[in-house]
Amino acid sequence: MTTATSHTLVCTECGQLNRVPAGKALSQGKCGTCGVTLATKKPRDIDGATLSKLMAKDTGMYVLDLWAPWCGPCRMMAPSYAQTAEALGDQVRFFKLNTDENQQAAGRFNIRGIPTLIAFKDGKQAGIQSGAMQKPQLMSWAGQILGIPQG
């Protein structure tokens, strides 16, 4: 089995594709077009068009939070999701998709409840988890699903 020497990451600011060496800290990489950092030390809100591009072209690791503003458990989990993004932001990007504003995009996953987290790795869906979690559970889940060493 061979491992990728680089990953293609979609800049969620301008939509351009960026090649990043495998193992390089995301905070060290910036979009070659707009200069925005590729790391997400804070979760980034995305829309359906950006999600489609991520799913079609991106080969890095990222976690998508499907949520809605009226959802109590979603709001309760938001600080833990942000803390996890801060802790793992050099290795994994963290995105949020408002299911009220992006119903068609959210519908492609056939989810039954929110919040739902979906992890992607190497251009494929790697795992899905429904229900609110606190930071320790989020860290453990992301680590197991994406193969991130826990230290």
Task: Give mean pLDDT, residues 94-109.
Answer: 93
For residue 150, is pLDDT > 90? no
Indicate if 71 belongs to the active site. Answer: yes
Domain 40-146 has CATH 3.40.30.10: yes
Out of 11, 31, 34, 74, which one is annotated catalytic? 74
Q: Which of 11, 14, 31, 71 is the catalytic position?
A: 71
Query: What's the pTM value of the predicted model, to 2 decimals?
Result: 0.93
Tell me, letter by letter, the H, E, C secondary structure of the chain: CCCCCEEEEECCCCCCEEEEECCCCHHHCECCCCCCECCCCCCEEECHHHHHHHHHHCCCCEEEEEECCCCHHHHHHHHHHHHHHHHHCCCCEEEEEECCCCHHHHHCCCCCCCCEEEEEECCEEEEEEECCCCHHHHHHHHHHHHCCCCC
Residue-wise pLDDT for 9-56, tens only, equals: 999 999 999 999 988 889 888 999 999 999 989 999 999 999 999 999
Give the pLDDT mean for 118-134. 96
34 is catalytic: no
